[in-house]
Structure 1
Amino acid sequence: MSNRLKNIFKEVRRYIMDEKLNFIKKLSFFDSLSDEELNIISNISKITTYPKNSILYYENDINNKIFFLVSGLLKVYKIDKFENEIFLYHIHKNSLISELTTLLDDSIHCFSNAEFIEESVVLEVDFSEFKKEFLSKFTLVNEFIHEILLKTQQLHCVVNRELVFDATAKVAYTLQNDLEMFNTLKRHEISFMLHIQPETLSRVLKKLKRNNIIDSENTDIVILDKEKLNSIIRG
């Protein structure tokens, strides 16, 4: 191989590494790392772009990587025995995707399905190397615990939404916590996600608007009174 080709390959490799580091730096999870530590993350990971409607993993899949959503939107759901989709929650950019139940095993078991709602960029980190290079040295432990606690909170919200909230509280909670997503999706998609009828969703939105809690600008919902919205959620 000529020196010219070698130099071209070096430049391409340097460009790819720089691009990967730029993506890694978009994740607040890694904010506390030094440049040297960021390079370690880069060396044990890869960046993948997924098209809209593609699947990251299926329920019962097993992998050896932890996934972070750099940009985009991910839907997490399960399938019941009648092949119906049961929506759980969305994962937004700058978040840990993976569902972790133990650090004793290098294999990560998937307990749900994950589908991209829009084109998304994912950082995939080798789990075994991540534990060896960081967690075993008590680096990123607090960040890791924080992300796992956020996952637990998401599951608590699923329980409330499905077992405690009525239709109005479901809509209010979604508006409070997922307004951008609410304004992105079609109304029938939202009603399907919340397991309510489209007519019920329309009726709830009209009631919230009539009570000056929300308003609409073109087709987008705008929150006017966050306190009243919270009071609906609290019951």
Structure 2
Amino acid sequence: MTIQETINEISFFHTLDEMQKEQIASISSISKYEKDSILYYESETKQNILFLVSGLLKIFKLDKFDNEIFLYHIYKNSMISELSSIKNHDIYCFSNAEFVKDSLVLSIDFKQFQENFLSKNILTTELMEILLDKTHQLQCILNRELVFDATSKVAFMLNQDLEMFNKLKRQEVSFMLHIQPETLSRVLKKLSRNGTIQIDNGEVIITNKTSLENIFTGVGI
């Protein structure tokens, strides 16, 4: 797949015409990464804006004891970079990024992207939408880590990331949510008993999405 074909696959660029996509391609490159490889470490500085073309990326931080604190996953067709400014050419990395699957990453020279597109008010709305989504995601992470109890954490992950929940072992889910495996088991049994979820051969199926959402939004509790 050529760079321009790759750009066509990413929804962020769908409003561009063919000439503009060619211009994006001229300042871009594609890199392959193997599972378990690191894309960047916290506090690194990049000069390229990154998009995940295919694969899966895990974003995490480390505490002072080098314990991993899971933040979120980034899926294909998504922007990876955490932008704090659209004027500064440098992109600061606020966390660590590790590939969960073999992946492809599109890398775009951020300085030229600013000069050729953002400065002309091209793709600014699309970029703002992504940045607002990332801000909302950060608010959800803060709630998960500082406000939610165990039931709310589990309900939130089931609502936001059911496919990943079912792919992972229960012990891995417990580690990500910072709860004990026994606690996870009790929460799942409780949600199953009250009809919020159904567990079929170990796979969770949401049977009452409204009830599930009410658990972590605080409605009706």
Q: Which protein has the larger Cα radius of gyration, Structure 1 or Structure 2?
A: 1
DSSP 3-state at the match of 1:102: coil
Give secondary structure in 2 for the equivalent of 1:228: helix
Could you list the per-position Cα deviations for residues 98-128 of structure 1 after superposition, in whole angstroms to 9, with x for gaps in the alignment? 0111122211111100111112211111101
- 1:187 — aligned with what? 170
C-alpha deviation, 1:184, in angstroms: 1.4
- Tell me which residue corresponds to 2:158: 175
Q: Which residue of 1 aligns with 2:23?
A: 40
TM-score with structure 2 length normalisation?
0.95
Tell me the equivalent position of 1:71. 54
Is there any run of 5+ residues in structure 1 with no aligned partner, and where?
1-17
Q: C-alpha distance in 1, partners of 2:94/2:188?
A: 33
- Between the aligned partners of 2:210 and 2:85, the Cα distance in structure 1 is 39
2:174 is equivalent to residue 206 of structure 1: no
**Matched letter for residue 49 of structure 1:** K
C-alpha distance in 1 between matches for 2:195 and 2:155: 13
Q: Secondary structure at the match of 1:152?
A: helix
- Which secondary structure does the structure 2 equivalent of 1:192 belong to? helix
Partner of 1:157: 140
Q: Match for 1:107: what amino acid?
A: D
User: How far 1:24 moved relative to its partner?
Assistant: 1.2
Give the counterpart letter for 1:138 in structure 2: N
CA distance in 2, matches of 1:154, 1:119: 24
Q: Secondary structure at the match of 2:43?
A: coil
Distance 2:4 2:169 in 1: 35
Partner AA of 1:154 in structure 2: Q
Q: Distance in 2 between matches of 1:19 and 1:218?
A: 42
Q: Which amino acid aligns with 1:178?
A: D
Q: Provide the rounded CA distance (Å) in 2 between the counterparts of 1:41 and 1:220.
A: 42
**Offset, 1:167:** 0.3
Query: For the aligned residues, what is the CA RMSD?
Result: 1.1
Give 3-state SS (helix, strand or coil) of 2:49's partner: strand
Give 1:38's aligned amino acid: K
- 1:220 is matched with which residue: 158, 183, 203? 203
Using the size of structure 1 for normalisation, the TM-score is: 0.90
Q: Distance in 1 between matches of 2:94 and 2:193?
A: 41
Pick the aligned partner of 2:64 from 78, 81, 97. Answer: 81
How far apart, CA to CA, are the structure 2 residues paired with 1:139 and 1:178?
32
User: SS state of the match for residue 2, structure 2?
Assistant: helix
Task: Indicate the residue corresponding to 1:129 in structure 2.
Answer: 112
- Give the whole-Å Cα distance in 2 for the aligned partners of 1:217 and 1:51: 33
Stretches of structure 2 that go unaligned for 5 or more consecutive residues are: none
Find the aligned partners of 1:39 and 1:64 in 2 and give their Cα distance. 20
Amino acid of the residue matched to residue 159 of structure 2? Q
Query: Structure 1 stretches (4+) deviating beyond 6 angstroms?
Result: none
State the 1:216 CA deviation.
2.3
